[in-house]
């Protein structure tokens, strides 16, 4: 097992709040879906759960969401054990799966009121809460229109509103941004930041690393059922790893000659330019200075993907 | 488990069923078939023996109840057989399970909605029953008992169908199996009873002769002979859970009386009663005195009823099905059936 970079600055959250999962394991028949995931999520923070498909993210969230008994491991959600005290956890936890169904023939309001009653809010409270959430999810025009008239993104937002009906302390979202248009993604980000600002512990699994970079406070990398790194976003492991940079020049031939002279391995040229793997920002600055010194007409030089993507690629690549 | 939780689920299920449409049509068709049956039966009775045949209502009512049971058994399995796995397929079950609704809330709420719908179908018969009552020979007490028993039998089918939908991941499989379960309960019990009775038929030896006679005669030599007898006094239990048997036998027997003193037809209502006739047959099968070598029941003592056993088996079956469904819906789950997703 590889060791992560700097330890998270914030230690485990105080007991009784947020999410603590240690050494979670779960097999489905012969398949080891999760074989040792650790995750902590503090109240007031957005924790991103990042990893390739099949890394065990969804399984872990099912364990946290009181739906699946882990084979091993210590789990606390909002201070309670999801296996022994599921009702306590459910009263404090909201969960939205990656794929979920809504009742097509209900209106947005009826749906949220039903969920409110299922969370024992009482009729009157469920009704006001449904109104608030329709506003929050920007779906007021669907209050009295059936769900099947909604677009995919609108349904996704309704699903998120469903998870918020009982004002949970812990919010678990599995791929919440899938199917959302760019504007909705920005709004989702703002909403989740707002919820974290009010003290909610938010756990988000996602592939959209660009979004997470602006959303998450902490990131937990998982690969093949195990945690491979847990970092604060501003302390991502950087330095030793090579990261792709894309260079564009007016004269590709001159660029390639120069790169070869400086002995850089490169990829291209292609429509976007030439890709070079560099270890650090300093290396990029040095390369750029060299190219300009050689008289190569460089137009742009930029890192491909964010820091999160680089860390992701590095962490999930090892052992591959 | 809370009453409010059950009510929340049941209301929701009802609303979804109603919104999904088709129900008015289905109820309409159901009623039309019952109406046609009643009308034809009534017309047939009118043809056969005008005023010579009293208690037309008895025949009409008995026939209608057996018919409605058969028809309802064709409809009711569909009401619950896709309830749980359908929700799973649509991805709405897990989001319900993470709320504060308990597994029992979900099970009983879904059951209540399915059973309630079945009872709506049953209620379609009320106008026709009222008509049969006007034709004579249908006491109100009998109508009440038969309706309650019918309701319980349909509840059993709902519960078993619901359980099938919770253990099988595919809705088509659970649908087919729900109908097979009804088949097992109706035709299956009949076949099993017949086969097991045939297998357990025993040969016995008896002797005749040597009787006392008066004033004096030659008693002659005692003769022994062997014969076979079916031990239906032991195998009747196999037939008891059959819904038609339970329904027919549970119907209170009609009074043993003529309509009036100078009724020349001498026909008793109970002689015409299809329910009572079936009940009489199965009670005869049960009669334990068969085991003592008597083939015919004594006229002076009524044989034991079969329906309490049959109804108890049905109710037990339904209760067990609900209990197992609740277990299956309980989360967090430890074991998942093959091919079943949590969410």
> Between B92, B98, B101, which is nearest A101 by CB?
B92
Q: Which residues pair with B226 in a beta bridge?
A: B205
**Is B16 close to A117, i.e. CB distance below 8 A?**
no
Across B286-312, average pLDDT: 70
**CATH number among 3.40.50.150, 3.30.2350.10, 3.30.70.100, 3.90.1150.10, domain A243-317:** 3.30.70.100
Alpha carbon of B18: minimum distance to chain A alpha carbons (Å): 10
Q: How many whole angstroms separate alpha carbon B228 and alpha carbon B201?
A: 7
**Residues A230/A1, Cβ–Cβ less than 8 Å:** no
Structure tokens, B84: 């749980």
Higher-confidence residue of B270 and B35: namely B35
Residues of B in contact with A97 (CB under 8 A): 91, 94-95, 343
Q: Give start-end residues of each CATH 3.30.70.100 domain in chain A.
A: 243-317
Whether B332 sits inside 8 A of A68 (CB atoms) is: yes
- Interchain proximity A106–B100, CB inside 8 Å: no
For residue A5, the model assigns a pLDDT of 40
Q: Would you call A88 an interface residue with chain B, using a CB distance cutoff of 8 Å?
A: no
CA distance B159 to chain A (A): 22
Chain segment A27-82, per-residue pLDDT in tens: 988 888 999 999 999 999 999 999 888 889 999 999 999 999 999 999 999 999 99
Whole-angstrom distance, CA of residue A181 vs CA of residue A159: 16
From B9, B20, B98, residue closest to A67, measured CB to CB: B98
**Mean pLDDT, residues A138-150 taken together:** 93
Cα first-last separation, chain A = 13
Residue B336 forms contact with A (CB below 8 Å)? yes
B264/A contact by beta carbon, under 8 A: no
* Alpha-helical segments (H) within B91-242: 93-97, 103-123, 126-134, 140-167, 171-183, 189-200, 232-239
Query: What does each C-alpha distance from A98 to A132, A211, B149, B153 come to in angstroms?
Result: 24, 16, 46, 41
**Probe site for chain B from A115, A118, A144 (most B CB atoms < 10 A):** A118
Tens of pLDDT, residue by residue over B88-112, are 999 999 999 999 999 999 999 999 9
B23-to-B113, B156, B176 alpha-carbon distances in Å: 14, 22, 21
Q: Give the CA count within 13 Å in the CB-facing half-sphere of A25.
A: 11
Q: What local confidence, expressed as pLDDT, does residue B289 receive? A: 62
Say whether B98 and A117 touch across the interface (CB within 8 A).
Answer: no
How far is the C-alpha of B34 from the C-alpha of B178, rounded, in Å?
23
Q: For B91, which of A95, A99, A162 is closest by C-beta distance?
A: A99
Q: How high is the pLDDT of residue B335? A: 80
At residue A3, the pLDDT reads 40
Min Cα–Cα distance to chain A from B6, Å: 10
In the structure, what pLDDT confidence band is assigned to residue A11 with cuts at 50, 70 and 90? very low
Average pLDDT estimate for A238-246? 66
Q: Which residues of B touch A78 (CB under 8 A)?
A: none
DSSP B302: P
In this complex, the residue of A66, A93, A105 whose CB is nearest that of residue B20 is A105
Q: Give the C-alpha separation, A39 to A225, whole Å.
A: 12
Confidence at residue B266, expressed as pLDDT on a 0 to 100 scale: 64
CATH, domain A19-234, list 3.40.50.150, 1.10.3720.10, 3.40.50.300, 3.30.300.280: 3.40.50.300
What mean pLDDT comes out for the span B45-54? 67
Of A282 and B187, the structure prediction assigns the larger pLDDT to B187
> What is the DSSP-derived secondary structure letter of residue B307?
H
Q: Which of B83, B104, B332, B340 to mutate to test binding with chain A, by most A CBs within 10 Å of its CB?
A: B332
DSSP state of B186: I
Against a cut of 0.95, is the pTM above it? Answer: no
The mean pLDDT value for B120-147 works out to: 94
By Cβ distance, the residue of A83, A91, A118 closest to B8 is A118
Locate all alpha helices (DSSP H) within A230-279, ordered by sequence.
252-261
Going from the C-alpha of B122 to that of each of B40, B64, B161, the distances in angstroms are 20, 12, 18
Q: Which residue of A has its CA nearest to B21?
A: A105
**Contact pairs from chain A to chain B, CB under 8 Å:** 85
What's the gap in Å between the CA of B321 and the closest CA on chain A?
22
> pLDDT: is B66 or A238 the higher one?
B66
- For residue B276, pLDDT over 60 is answered with yes
Cβ-Cβ contacts under 8 Å, A65 against chain B: 98
Q: Is the confidence at residue B338, as pLDDT, over 70? A: no
Q: Where would I find the H helices in B168-259?
A: 171-183, 189-200, 232-239, 243-250
B100 touches chain A (CB under 8 A): yes
Confirm or reject contact between A118 and chain B (CB < 8 A).
yes
Inter-chain contact B91–A97, Cβ cutoff 8 Å?
A: yes
The shortest CB-CB distance from A90 to any of B4, B92, B100 is to B100
Q: Does B141 touch chain A (CB under 8 A)?
A: no
The residue in chain B having the minimum alpha-carbon distance to the alpha carbon of residue A71 is: B334
Distance in angstroms (rounded) separating the CA atoms of residues A259 and A266? 8
Q: Quick one: tokens of B220?
A: 């002659």
- Residue B259 has what DSSP assignment? S
Contact between chains at B101 and A118 (C-beta distance less than 8 A): yes
Token reading at A99: 């794929």
What's the CA gap between B308 and B279, in Å, rounded? 12
Is 80 exceeded by the pLDDT of residue B254?
Answer: yes
Q: What is the pLDDT of residue B343?
A: 61
pLDDT-derived band at B220 (thresholds 50, 70, 90) equals: low
What percent of chain B clears pLDDT 70, i.e. is strictly above it?
Answer: 85
Helix spans in A46-205 (H): 57-64, 86-92, 108-118, 123-136, 152-163, 182-197
Would you call A179 an interface residue with chain B, using a CB distance cutoff of 8 Å? no
Taking the Cβ of residue A101 and every Cβ of chain B, the question of whether any pair is shorter than 8 Å is answered with yes
């Amino acid at each position: 097992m590889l060791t992560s970079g700097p330890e998270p600055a914030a230690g485990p959250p105080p007991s009784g709040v947020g999410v603590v999962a240690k050494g979670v394991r779960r097999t489905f028949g012969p398949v080891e879906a999760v074989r040792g995931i650790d995750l902590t999520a503090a109240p007031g923070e957005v924790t991103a759960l990042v990893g390739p498909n099949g890394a065990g993210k969804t399984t872990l969230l099912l364990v946290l969401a009181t739906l699946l008994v882990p084979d091993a491991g210590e789990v606390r959600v909002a201070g309670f054990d999801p296996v022994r005290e599921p009702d306590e956890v459910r009263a404090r936890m909201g969960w939205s799966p990656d794929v979920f169904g809504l009742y097509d023939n209900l209106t947005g309001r009826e749906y949220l009121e039903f969920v409110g009653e299922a969370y024992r809010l009482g009729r009157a409270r469920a009704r006001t809460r449904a109104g608030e959430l329709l506003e929050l999810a920007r779906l007021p025009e669907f209050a009295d229109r059936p769900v099947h008239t909604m677009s995919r993104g609108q349904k996704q937002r309704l699903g998120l509103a469903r998870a918020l009906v009982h004002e949970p302390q812990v919010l678990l979202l599995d791929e919440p941004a899938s199917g959302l248009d760019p504007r909705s993604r920005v709004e989702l980000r703002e909403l989740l930041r707002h919820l974290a600002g009010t003290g909610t512990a938010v756990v988000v699994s996602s592939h959209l690393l660009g979004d997470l970079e602006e959303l998450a406070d902490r990131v937990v990398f998982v690969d093949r059922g195990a945690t491979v790194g847990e970092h604060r976003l501003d302390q991502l492991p950087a330095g030793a790893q090579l990261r792709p940079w894309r260079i564009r020049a007016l004269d590709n031939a001159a660029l390639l000659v120069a790169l070869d002279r400086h002995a850089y391995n490169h990829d291209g040229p292609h429509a976007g330019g030439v890709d070079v793997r560099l270890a650090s920002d300093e290396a990029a600055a040095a390369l750029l200075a060299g190219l300009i010194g050689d008289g190569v007409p460089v137009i742009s030089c930029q890192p491909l993907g964010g820091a999160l993507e680089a860390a992701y690629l590095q962490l999930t690549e090892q052992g591959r | 488990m809370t009453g409010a939780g059950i009510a929340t689920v049941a209301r929701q299920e009802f609303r979804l069923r109603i919104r999904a449409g088709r129900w008015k049509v289905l109820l309409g068709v159901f009623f039309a078939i019952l109406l046609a049956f009643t009308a034809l039966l009534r017309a047939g009775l009118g043809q056969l023996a005008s005023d010579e045949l009293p208690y037309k209502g008895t025949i009409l009512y008995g026939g209608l109840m057996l018919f409605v049971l058969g028809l309802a058994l064709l409809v009711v399995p569909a009401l619950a057989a896709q309830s749980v796995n359908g929700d799973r397929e649509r991805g709405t079950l897990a989001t319900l399970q993470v709320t504060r609704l308990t597994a029992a809330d979900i099970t009983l709420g879904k059951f209540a909605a399915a059973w309630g719908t079945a009872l709506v179908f049953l209620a379609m018969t009320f106008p026709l029953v009222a008509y049969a009552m006007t034709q004579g020979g249908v006491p109100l007490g009998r109508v009440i008992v038969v309706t309650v028993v019918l309701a319980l039998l349909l509840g059993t089918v709902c519960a078993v169908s619901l359980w099938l939908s919770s253990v099988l991941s595919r809705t088509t499989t659970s649908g087919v199996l729900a109908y097979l379960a009804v088949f097992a309960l109706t035709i299956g019990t009949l076949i099993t009873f017949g086969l097991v009775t045939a297998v357990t038929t025993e040969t016995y030896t008896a002797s005749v002769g040597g009787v006392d006679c008066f004033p004096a005669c030659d008693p002659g030599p005692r003769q022994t002979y062997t014969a076979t007898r079916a031990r239906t006094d032991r195998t009747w239990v196999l037939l008891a859970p059959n819904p038609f048997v339970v329904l027919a036998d549970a119907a209170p027997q009609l009074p043993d009386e003529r309509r009036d003193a100078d009724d020349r037809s001498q026909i008793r209502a109970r002689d015409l009663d299809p329910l009572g006739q079936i009940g009489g047959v199965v009670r005869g099968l049960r009669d334990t005195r068969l085991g003592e070598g008597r083939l015919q029941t004594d006229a002076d003592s009524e044989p034991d009823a079969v329906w309490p056993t049959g109804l108890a088996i049905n109710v037990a079956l339904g209760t067990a099905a609900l209990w197992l469904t609740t277990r299956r819906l309980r989360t967090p789950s430890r074991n998942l059936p093959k091919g079943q997703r949590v969410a």
